Amino acid sequence: MAKSEEVKDPEVKGKGKLKMIILIVVGLLLAIGLSVGATWFFMNKSASKPAEAPAVATNAKPVAIYEPLTPPFVVNYKQNGRDRYMQVSITLQGRDKAALDELKVHMPVIRNNLVMMFSGETFETIASPVGLEMLRQKATAAVQAVGQKELGKSVIDQLLFTNFVLQ
């Protein structure tokens, strides 16, 4: 009998270790499940609060509307007896679609003012980044002036150079 009891003892010890491993695995799975559930609960709880955010968003600026001016402007310059060219594609940024549509009626005046302004610049000035930004700001002011004169309001927020080539 002693021999058969010795054989049962290792089996009991093996079953005890197996039970311990199973309990640890179940405990870990339970802990992971609880942490995932708590995270999901708190994330959904905070996700339900942004329903108040649209009330704040109504005070924000309307969505920007972009209106490209086509065809691109091409201006030639003389620099040290050499012919130079500038090609610039322009896009107007505004917030009121109806006002931008009203401004389109005056596009010949706008294009004329921009061509005159571009051709009045020197090539050296527009070749530098600072000069280019100054030119963009002058062009923005020129278009806003036409809008103010013809429509009684500044229609555009800014004028953007979407393509600029110097040659």
What pLDDT does residue 148 have?
Answer: 92
- Whether the per-residue pLDDT at 47 is higher than 70: the answer is no
- For residues 23 and 60, the model is more confident at 23
pTM passes above 0.75? no
Architecture of domain 65-166: 2-Layer Sandwich (3.30)
pLDDT value, residue 49: 55
Q: In the chain, helix, strand, coil percent, each to 5?
A: 60, 25, 15
pLDDT tens-digit readout, 68-126: 999 999 999 888 888 999 999 999 999 999 999 999 999 999 999 999 999 999 888 88
SS (H, E, C) 42-89: HHHHHHCHHHHHHHHHCCCCCCCEEEEEEEEEEEEEEECCEEEEEEEE
Q: What is the pLDDT of residues 13-37, one digit of tens each?
A: 667 888 899 999 898 888 888 888 8
